[in-house]
């Protein structure tokens, strides 16, 4: 159950955009959660906005959710190395009374038809014509959700981590979070 939180706010920086700094922060958090095999820390982006594709933003605030002990354990690690000049962290605080709850989850989309076709050609030993027939142009989707740009540590490929905040709920749903602090069913407090 997520009873406490920490806010990590990005400071304005003349050299780096907020999106770049948020990507670096999320990547560092991901590595810390993987290394600690942590599934009891959730995240939310209280400032997220969904606007036209060129201006989608998760904002400049990352909120960590968990128990006081789970948050203390995470913050006891040195996972914010290199970010301290770019952020301001609050202390561990209890969730306000009366807070509502919502899921914060990752959404994945089939966003590149050419990549899907190349993959199909490799997996099924098909010709470009066969792959084109199997995967039409209309398969491609253009998501309008806010996202953070990350780089896979295993493949080195850049990818977008699309974030969807679920509907507000009156009661919390306990459970585990993934290595990005996200879940399809477990809720975090929203205030």
In a domain, 116, yes or no: no
Q: Per-residue pLDDT for the chain (191 aa), expressed as one digit of tens each?
A: 899 999 999 999 999 999 999 999 999 999 999 999 999 999 999 988 655 554 578 999 999 999 999 999 999 999 999 999 999 999 999 999 999 999 999 987 766 777 778 888 888 888 888 888 887 776 655 667 888 888 877 777 788 898 999 999 999 999 999 999 999 999 999 99
Catalytic residue among 4, 30, 86, 165: 30
For the chain, what is the domain count? 1
DSSP secondary structure letters along 54-97 = GG-B--SEEEEEE-HHHHHHHHHS-TTTTTGGGEEEPPPEEPPT
Per-residue pLDDT tens digits for 26-63: 999 999 999 999 999 999 999 886 555 545 789 999 99
The CATH number of residue 74's host domain is 3.30.70.2540
In a domain, 102, yes or no: yes
Find the domain containing 58 and state its range.
4-109+141-190
Q: What is the DSSP letter of 11?
A: P
In a domain, 121, yes or no: no
In a domain, 47, yes or no: yes
- Are β-strands 100-107 and 147-151 bridged in parallel, bridged antiparallel, or unpaired? unpaired
In a domain, 118, yes or no: no
In a domain, 21, yes or no: yes
Question: Is 20 among the residues known to form the active site?
Answer: no
């Amino acid at each position: 159950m997520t009873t406490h939180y920490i806010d990590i706010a990005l400071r304005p920086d003349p050299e780096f955009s907020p999106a770049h700094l948020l990507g670096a922060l999320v990547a560092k958090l991901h590595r810390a959660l993987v290394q600690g095999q942590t599934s009891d820390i959730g995240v939310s982006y209280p400032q997220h906005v969904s606007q036209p594709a060129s201006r989608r933003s998760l904002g400049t605030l990352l909120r960590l959710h968990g128990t006081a002990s789970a948050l203390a354990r995470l913050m006891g690690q040195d996972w914010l190395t290199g970010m301290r000049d770019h952020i301001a962290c609050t202390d561990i605080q209890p969730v306000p009374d009366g807070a509502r709850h919502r899921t914060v989850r990752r959404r994945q989309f089939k966003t590149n038809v050419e990549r899907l076709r190349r993959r199909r050609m490799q997996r099924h030993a098909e010709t470009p014509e066969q792959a084109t027939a199997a995967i039409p142009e209309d398969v491609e989707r253009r998501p309008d959700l806010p996202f953070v740009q990350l780089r896979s540590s295993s493949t080195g490929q850049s990818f977008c981590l699309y974030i969807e905040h679920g509907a507000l709920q009156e009661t919390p749903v306990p459970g585990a979070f993934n290595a990005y602090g996200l879940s399809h069913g477990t809720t975090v407090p929203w205030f």
